[in-house]
Amino acid sequence: MKKIAAVTFDLWDTLIKEHPGGADRVARIRTEGIGDLLSAKGMVHTSQEIVDAYAKTGDFLSMTWSKQRDMAVRDQVLFMMSSIDDKLAGRISKSDLDEIERVYAEGILENPPALLPGAREALVAVSERGHKIGLISNTGRTPGSVLRVVMGNMGILDFFDTTTFSNEVLVRKPAEGVFRHTLDNLKVFPSAAVHVGDSVESDIMGAKRAGMKAVQLVVNGISRSEVADSHVGSLTNVLDAIERL
C-alpha cells in the first residue's frame, strides 16, 4: 500500500462556515456599495435594479456551476453591470471597474465566516506528521484572493503548500481537473493523496474519480458516502482516519 504523502482539504463546511444570515448580509454590503459607487460617478440606478442584477448574476453563476465550470470575478462583475444596463459596462472606466470589483469581492471581509471547531488543530496534526497540505475549494462570489485573506486572518493559510480555488482555474469540483491541478502543484500522485471534505458529490465522488482516497466529514445530518474510504464526525479525528489508510 502506497504511503500517504499529501492531504487536501475542502474549505466551506469543512474548515470554515458562514454565520446564519451571512450570505444576505454580504449581499447587502455588495449591492449597497456598488450602488453608492455608481451614483458617485453620475450613473444613478435604483436599489431594486442593482439587487435584481445581483440576483440575475447569481442565476447565471448557478447555471455555469452546474456544468462544473466557473467564472473569474471580473467576468461576474461585468455580467452584473450589463444586467443593470446593457450599455453600463462600456461606460465605466477601468479604475472605477476595479473599485466595483473590489467591493464585490471583498464584501465577506465585513462579515467573515467562522473557523470550525477543531480545524486548526487538525491542520497542525497533519502538518506535524509531515504530510503536504493542499486546499481545493469551489468559490461563490468571493474569489480565492479574498478567501486567502480570510484564511490568513484566521491563522490557517500558512499550513497550506498550495491553494486551489475554482474561480482561478475555472473548473469546479467534482471535476477531476481541479483535483489533478492541485496534486500536480503538490507533486504527488493521486494514489498517495487523501481528500477531506463534507460533500458526497463534490468532495468524495470527485476525489475518488481523480484516483485519491477520501475521508468524509459527516456533520449536521448530511448523507454518508458509500464510496468514502473513511468517515469522521469531527475534524479532531481526521489524522487518525488518515493514518488508518
pLDDT tens digits for 183-217?
999 999 999 999 999 999 999 999 999 999 999 99
228 close to 215: Cβ distance less than 8 angstroms: yes
Residue 240's pLDDT is 93
Residue 245 has pLDDT above 90, yes or no: no
Percent of the chain with pLDDT over 70: 99
Residue 1 has pLDDT above 80, yes or no: no
Average of pLDDT values for 130-135? 97
Percent of the chain with pLDDT over 90: 95
Query: pLDDT tens digits for 30-47?
Result: 999 999 999 999 998 999
Exposure string for 203-235, b = 16+ CB within 10 A, e = fewer: bbbbbbebebbbbbbbeeeeeebeebbbebeeb
Residue 50's pLDDT is 97
Show Cβ contacts of residue 149 under 8 Å, excluding neighbours closer than 6 positions.
109
Average of pLDDT values for 6-16? 98
Residue 2's pLDDT is 67
Residue 238 has pLDDT above 80, yes or no: yes
Query: pLDDT tens digits for 54-98?
Result: 999 999 999 999 999 999 999 999 999 999 999 998 899 999 999
Residue 4's pLDDT is 94
